C-alpha cells in the first residue's frame, strides 16, 4: 500500500537548513495498523505529512497503492489525496457551527457525492463510531473523545485506502485515549490500513507494528503482541 525509499526532507531556516528525514525506507501492506513513534521533534509529523501528500520530500521515492507520488500538480495531488487518504488530527479540526452529521458529510460534498448518499454515508459512519444519537449535536456539545470519534467518522466516510492519524489521542485523557485507540483497532479489524503517529509508548503498543524514528532515520521496526484497549478500561 505504501512504499517509500530513501526519503529525505530538510527545512530551510534562513541561511541554515534542518535535515529532518535522512533516508527513510518503509513498506506498509494493506490492512496494517502501524504506529510511528518518536520523541517530539523527531520528524513524525513531517513524515506523515509527506505520506499524506500535504508536503513533498526533497528526494526519494514514494509509491501509494502502486501510484508514484512525485511532481504532481496541486489538482492531481488533491485528487489522489481525496481518493486515497483520510486524516485525523490531535485537535479534531471540526467545524463548530455544523452538526456531527454535517461535519462527517462535508468532505463528501466536496467529492460531489449526491446529498442523499452523503447523509446515508454520514449516518453509517457515525453509527460505526457509536455516535448515531449525537448526529444533530454541535461539536461544543460533545466530549473530546466524541469529537475525535466524529473526526474519525469523517475521515472514514470518504472510504480512503489509508487513514493517517497524527497524535489522535494527544488532546485526550488516558481513559478516553484508550477508547479512541480501541475504535481505531476496530476500524483496522474491518480491513483498513491505518498509521498512527504518537510519542506515547502505550498508545503505540495498541498498534500491530511500531516504527521508531530517531535522528531522522528508522532505528527500530517491530511487530507488537497486540494489547487490546479493554485491558485498560
Ligand atoms: P514531530 O512530529 O516528531 O514532533 P516534526 O516533524 O513536527 O516532529 O518536526 C521535526 C523538526 O522539524 C522539528 O525540529 C521542527 O521544529 C522542524 N519543523 C517542522 N516543521 C517545520 C517547518 N514548516 N519549518 C521549519 N522547521 C520545521
Ligand atoms: Mg508532530
Give the ipTM.
0.98
- The pLDDT of 144-167, averaged and rounded, is 95
Collapsed DSSP state (helix, strand, coil) of residue 27 = strand
Question: Exposure pattern of 112-144 as b/e (b: 16+ CB <10 Å)?
Answer: ebeeeebbebbbebbebbebeebbeebbeebee
Count of residues making up the chain:
233
What are residue 26's DSSP bridge partners?
4
- The pLDDT score that the predictor gives to residue 110 is 86
Average pLDDT, the chain: 93
All three cell numbers of 225, joined, read 503482541
Ligand 2 center from residue 119 Cα (angstroms)? 33
4-56 per-position pLDDT tens digit: 999 999 999 888 999 999 999 999 999 999 999 999 999 999 999 999 999 99
Strands 209-214 and 67-68: unpaired
Closest protein CA for atom 27 of ligand 1: 11
- Say how far apart CA 104 and CA 96 lie, in whole Å: 12
22-35 per-position pLDDT tens digit: 999 999 999 999 99
- The pLDDT score that the predictor gives to residue 226 is 58
All three cell numbers of 101, joined, read 452529521
- The pLDDT score that the predictor gives to residue 229 is 53
- The pLDDT score that the predictor gives to residue 162 is 96
- The pLDDT score that the predictor gives to residue 13 is 86
Collapsed DSSP state (helix, strand, coil) of residue 232 = coil
Quick one: which of 197, 167, 202 has its CA closest to 47? 197
- The pLDDT score that the predictor gives to residue 230 is 53
Q: Which atom of ligand 1 is nearest to the CA of 46?
A: 6
97-148 per-position pLDDT tens digit: 999 999 999 999 988 999 999 999 999 999 999 999 999 999 999 999 999 9
All three cell numbers of 232, joined, read 485498560
User: Percentage of the chain with pLDDT > 90?
Assistant: 86
Q: Is residue 202 very low, low, confident or very high in pLDDT (cuts 50, 70, 90)?
A: very high
Structural domain containing residue 74? 2-231
Ligand nearest to the CA of residue 44, numbered in listed order? 1
Residue the block writes with cell 486524516: 87
**Domain CATH code at residue 198:** 3.40.50.300
Ligand 1 in reach of 46 Cβ (< 6 A): yes
**How many domains, in total, are found in the chain?**
1
- The pLDDT score that the predictor gives to residue 155 is 95
Burial (0-12, 13-18, 19+ Cβ within 10 Å), 75: exposed
Quick one: which of 189, 194, 225, 183 has its CA closest to 208? 225
Helices within 85-173 (DSSP H only): 100-110, 115-128, 144-157
Closest protein CA for atom 15 of ligand 1: 41
Ligand 1 in reach of 110 Cβ (< 6 A): no
Burial (0-12, 13-18, 19+ Cβ within 10 Å), 21: buried
Ligand nearest to the CA of residue 47, numbered in listed order? 1
Ligand 2 center from residue 87 Cα (angstroms)? 14
Quick one: which of 83, 69, 141 has its CA closest to 112? 83
Q: Is residue 78 very low, low, confident or very high in pLDDT (cuts 50, 70, 90)?
A: confident
- The pLDDT of 180-203, averaged and rounded, is 95
- The pLDDT score that the predictor gives to residue 233 is 45
Amino acid at each position: 500500500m505504501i512504499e517509500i525509499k530513501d526519503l529525505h526532507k530538510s527545512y530551510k531556516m534562513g541561511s541554515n537548513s534542518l535535515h529532518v528525514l535522512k533516508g527513510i525506507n518503509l513498506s506498509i501492506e494493506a490492512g496494517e495498523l502501524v504506529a510511528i513513534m518518536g520523541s517530539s521533534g523527531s520528524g513524525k509529523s513531517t513524515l506523515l505529512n509527506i505520506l499524506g501528500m500535504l508536503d513533498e520530500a526533497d528526494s526519494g521515492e514514494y509509491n501509494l497503492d502502486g501510484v508514484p507520488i512525485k511532481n504532481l500538480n496541486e489538482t492531481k495531488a488533491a485528487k489522489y489525496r481525496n481518493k486515497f487518504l483520510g486524516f485525523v488530527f490531535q485537535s479534531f479540526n471540526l467545524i463548530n457551527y455544523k452538526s456531527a452529521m454535517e461535519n462527517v458529510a462535508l468532505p463528501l460534498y466536496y467529492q460531489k457525492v449526491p446529498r442523499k448518499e452523503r447523509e446515508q454515508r454520514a449516518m453509517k459512519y457515525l453509527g460505526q463510531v457509536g455516535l448515531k444519537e449525537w448526529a444533530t449535536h454541535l461539536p461544543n456539545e460533545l466530549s473530546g473523545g466524541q469529537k475525535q470519534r466524529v473526526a474519525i467518522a469523517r475521515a472514514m466516510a470518504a472510504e480512503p485506502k489509508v487513514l493517517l492519524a497524527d497524535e489522535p489521542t494527544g488532546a485526550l485523557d488516558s481513559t478516553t485515549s484508550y477508547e479512541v485507540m480501541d475504535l481505531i483497532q476496530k476500524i483496522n479489524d474491518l480491513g483498513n490500513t491505518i498509521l498512527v503517529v504518537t510519542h506515547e509508548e502505550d498508545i503505540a503498543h495498541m498498534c500491530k507494528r511500531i516504527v521508531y524514528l530517531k535522528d531522522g532515520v528508522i532505528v527500530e521496526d517491530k511487530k507488537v503482541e497486540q494489547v487490546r484497549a479493554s485491558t485498560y478500561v
